Copies of this chain bind each other. A is one copy, B any other.
């Protein structure tokens, strides 16, 4: 209690640079020899089994600790190591090693920081190249940099064949991923992380094919006919539902809800404050759809769990598990709230749920960060504790601006659930004086049309959108467009429009929104920096370049 750190970090001083070469400088070609032992090479079969048990991260923020970077240059050149010795440093050993190429790394001290958790233990004591070939998200300079910190030596040339350690092929779970729409802006292919194009943010409902994709792993192939959803009650009893059960036993409910990635607008955090770990999403890390499904509270009641069972059973969380191994949880109050609109969804915009969005069944937790709306739902657990996955315990948390990526006390911050108020400018364009739209606004001069989205968490309605045409010196209110959402609360974004005479337009437009709890967006980014760049919601600023016909 009351422990406190006195490191008074000046926030602006610790920006990280990622401008380093993609291969470590000491990489040299190796001679090829036959390996002594390949028995213990992990295969994907057991690997996947473990994934299902422990969860694996294909998180975009892979390596957190950079504190040893400076020591790297001074590290010893490394000794020569036999592959048999590497094998002895597997999951059960005190020190755990991996081989990448021909180099050996003792990653023991880093394992607790692996976004995927302990699943990495399946790869220790052997070669990691083939896993990285599949989880290509690892192939980033950040990841190489951190790995280099743990370099201990080079494999003995006696263990190499054609300069490499021969390994068995492992099955690639991504080969059955669906084909994606070319409109998506792809950040990573494996797993697929792709944001909605600006053009796709202009309609109230985002078409399924243009809906942003945020996968943590591969897309599992789930057969709707044989699919079952298991519900584990507080006493351990398990109930099972087929898709047919869900459709037949419960009233279909339709709601309109925006899903937003916690990393939406992370790029702005990196640009306006300091580099924030993870995929550099612009403003397209969210999309809006109409979802059809059944109420989770009704399914739980059918399974034997209602409001009245919460207290006695000491149930506090509802955990969701996806077929690919992802897991997350929400507070039980949200799950049971009759105004909470938590659904088990089978239909998206009137079509069967696409594979990228959780076919045949996903959770929809409106008002919460999208990471809780678990896709390819296979199991629900009513529990006293949160889901223990990486995605609940580490990845989706916010820390103070003074917290760097190392020495993180993960338990000191809660898992993100509801999200804060947010807005962004999608369109900023000149409109000539004769445009018919201007007549609606009573304008008869060259103007600038600004449009965008605003939303908040927890069902909080957007009540005002302030737009500045002069970089925040003065403000006026945008019109909130009268799109109609279905649902108990405000789960969907609000689109807005603002038109201002061109002569009043300055160098930069700014937007900020207010929700019905009167929460507002922060002006700056630095004071709200968090090293994961989660929930970036500073004022959105977009430069305006005056075209030639404008005055001055």
A475 at the interface (CB under 8 A from B): yes
A440 to nearest B CB, angstroms?
6
A385 at the interface (CB under 8 A from B): no
A301 at the interface (CB under 8 A from B): no
CA distance A421 to B339 in the complex (A): 23
A498 nearest in chain B by CB position: B4
Partner of A474, one of B9, B499, B518, B519: B9
A1 at the interface (CB under 8 A from B): yes
A-B contacts, 29 listed (Cβ < 8 Å): A1-B482, A2-B440, A2-B441, A2-B479, A2-B497, A4-B498, A4-B499, A5-B476, A6-B443, A6-B476, A8-B474, A9-B474, A10-B473, A333-B488, A337-B339, A398-B464, A401-B466, A402-B475, A402-B477, A418-B460, A419-B517, A420-B519, A457-B517, A518-B534, A520-B528, A521-B522, A522-B522, A523-B523, A523-B524
Asked whether A516 lies within 8 Å of B402 as measured between CB atoms, the reply is: no
A306 to nearest B CB, angstroms?
11
15 further A-B pairs in the complex, CB-CB below 8 A; given A10-B474, A466-B527: A2-B497, A4-B498, A6-B476, A8-B476, A11-B473, A11-B475, A398-B514, A400-B464, A400-B477, A402-B477, A417-B516, A419-B517, A420-B520, A472-B527, A522-B523
In the complex, chain B residues whose CB is within 8 Å of the CB of A417: 516-517
In the complex, chain B residues whose CB is within 8 Å of the CB of A477: 4, 400, 402
Q: How many copies does the complex hold?
A: 2
A504 at the interface (CB under 8 A from B): yes
CA distance A521 to B421 in the complex (A): 12
Q: Which residues of chain A have a CB within 8 Å of any CB of chain B?
A: 1-12, 307, 333, 337-339, 398, 400-402, 413-414, 416-421, 440-441, 443, 457-458, 460-461, 463-464, 466, 469-470, 472-477, 479, 482, 488, 497-501, 504, 512, 514, 516-524, 527-528, 534-535
A526 to nearest B CB, angstroms?
9
A434 to nearest B CB, angstroms?
18
Asked whether B475 lies within 8 Å of A401 as measured between CB atoms, the reply is: yes
CA distance A367 to B200 in the complex (A): 37
In the complex, chain B residues whose CB is within 8 Å of the CB of A521: 522
CA distance A479 to B421 in the complex (A): 26
Q: What secondary structure prevails in chain A residues at the interface with B?
A: loop
CA distance A501 to B398 in the complex (A): 26
Asked whether B414 lies within 8 Å of A516 as measured between CB atoms, the reply is: yes
CA distance A10 to B417 in the complex (A): 38
CA distance A375 to B170 in the complex (A): 71
CA distance A181 to B497 in the complex (A): 52
CA distance A419 to B470 in the complex (A): 29
A80 to nearest B CB, angstroms?
46
In the complex, chain B residues whose CB is within 8 Å of the CB of A7: 476
Asked whether A504 lies within 8 Å of B8 as measured between CB atoms, the reply is: yes
CA distance A464 to B440 in the complex (A): 46
In the complex, chain B residues whose CB is within 8 Å of the CB of A458: 458, 517
Asked whether A527 lies within 8 Å of B512 as measured between CB atoms, the reply is: yes
Asked whether B512 lies within 8 Å of A4 as measured between CB atoms, the reply is: no
